[in-house]
A and B are shown apart, each in its own frame.
Chain A
Amino acid sequence: MTAQHIFTGRLKTPFHPRITELDSLNTWHNWAGYSSAEALYCEDMEYFAIRNSTGVFDITPMTKYRITGPDALNYLDRLVTRDMKKIKPGRVAYAVWCDDQGQVMDDGTIFHLREGEYRLCSQERHFAWLKAASIGFDVTLKEETADVAALAVQGPTSYSILKNMGVRGLEELKPFGLIHNEFLGSELMISRTGFTGDLGYELWISPDKALELWDALFEAGKEYGIRAIGTHALGLARKEAAYLAPFEDFLPAETTVRTGRTRSPLELGLDWLVDFSKENFNGRKALLKEKENGSQWNLVKLDIEGNKTADHSYIYAHEKNNKSEIGFITSAAWSPICKQNIALGTVRSPHGKPGDTLWVEIYYQREMHWNRVMAEASIVDKPFWFPARRGKTPPDPF
């Protein structure tokens, strides 16, 4: 009874009791103040659950903000680079937001829950920024991370599992759509979103119904290969989908100290998210200037020869001339499903056009000794993994 004044150092999500039951590795990490499992029994098997059946990942720690009020739409439209007027109720938008210099602060998803009512989800916390952005706008901001329990249900059998669980309206639910169902007297929100680049959904519910939802889901998925998964499996899946991760592929602008370590959305290959036809959005002036003068960096998706993972490697323009260093790898993996040695990297302009060939200097260790290989890498312009089922509505049942 001596330590009662010490608050819980790390929070547990409402799903924690079920995850610990399935967990045999006991390897956890800190995600925004919550315990999050890195892997539960075998990260390879967990990864294959995502690609071949269904993986369930606890995304409760994801930061969630509720944005309401008469100016909610104008507020968001000025905050993010894309046109939020096009995002109707029942739709979800992937978006980035920038500081005044047009440098990316974070990316995230914005759920248009109901007319004029939004939820913004991101990996990092941004309340101070969102608050500053609200000056002069009639909006109410609420941090609701702990008020909503959420699960990502991802994989080819996810549609059938949710149908089996009794979710109604899934047939019409298109990618980046959301619907509301009732679950044991509480509202269950289902969105067709995820971080795996595959067919998949995310379920959102009040924390007091979290365990019942988990049980119902796993009961419904029993015959469909449902598996709980950890961060490592998800991390591999996101690289295959070529999704960006903050602190890996870019640094949130306000966390950098040195100049030149931030990236603009144009430098991250997110120009499709930047709508210059909008009257104003934060960073517009700076980005317009960058568009005219050219960007400093380009994000590249690389298909690298061989099977040695190119973690943190330098990228060169030529094989023999190692003075021609033009950038570096930010995420890399061997993709089991694509059978490809894949990577995301950042290179100086004008390098990085699709079709270009670059060279990657890979160091790898074999029984203490280091080896080096210069591997040829070609730039691809599509995500490495983009199955047809991801976009099909209704998805095929299993």
Chain B
Amino acid sequence: MSKPILHMAGITKVFNTEEMETHALRGVDLSIYLGEFVSICGPSGCGKSTLLSILGLLDLPTAGSYQIEGTEVAQLSLSEAATIRNEKVGFIFQSFNLIDELSVYDNIALPLRYRRQPIPHAESDKKLKECLEKVGMSHRASHKPNQLSGGQQQRIAIVRALVGTPSLLLVDEPTGNLDSRNGDAVMEMLRQLNSDGTTLCMVTHDPRYADMASRLLHISTPQLVKEPHETAL
């Protein structure tokens, strides 16, 4: 097996309020390898979203080790986390999370705008147009998100996640806001991306789509992770 893109060991997440302590994750061990399509499922409140947010450096674990491509990232500063998120992680959200005020083109250009090393305009423009072409949305480049259907918005969200060429694509309930036809199309697109070499980690409730992954992880309680296909945790 190839080297893991990310590796978690003993990841714990505790939310503290004035009244109580809530353990969202307890001692999670997880490795995801290059080219894998990992699906994480489980009941509501089991910590799927918390895990995804720690995977995407949107949140810090309370304890444990987390490495992305061999670099320890568990306790990065906000700024360092933002840089790694921008360069190595792509996000696809259930509710698309496109910015309504910006055109499709400007939405997908966002990750490139935050690069440490600025990308020349001609180069980024070419890349953006190619990406739109790939998902058949070139003709919608100047449209605003609210002028698109749900399926089209999710395709744009996928393009935005991929445009920065991330090492890992984190996908949170990608079909949650779509009808079955659009949901199928989006899943087919993700499957195709994986076939082309993109590493994916997807959280989903839908067993049909979870089964499309090469590895399925099931979180039943905050501290327990089952692996039906492979032992990797």
Whether A and B are associated in the same complex: the answer reads no
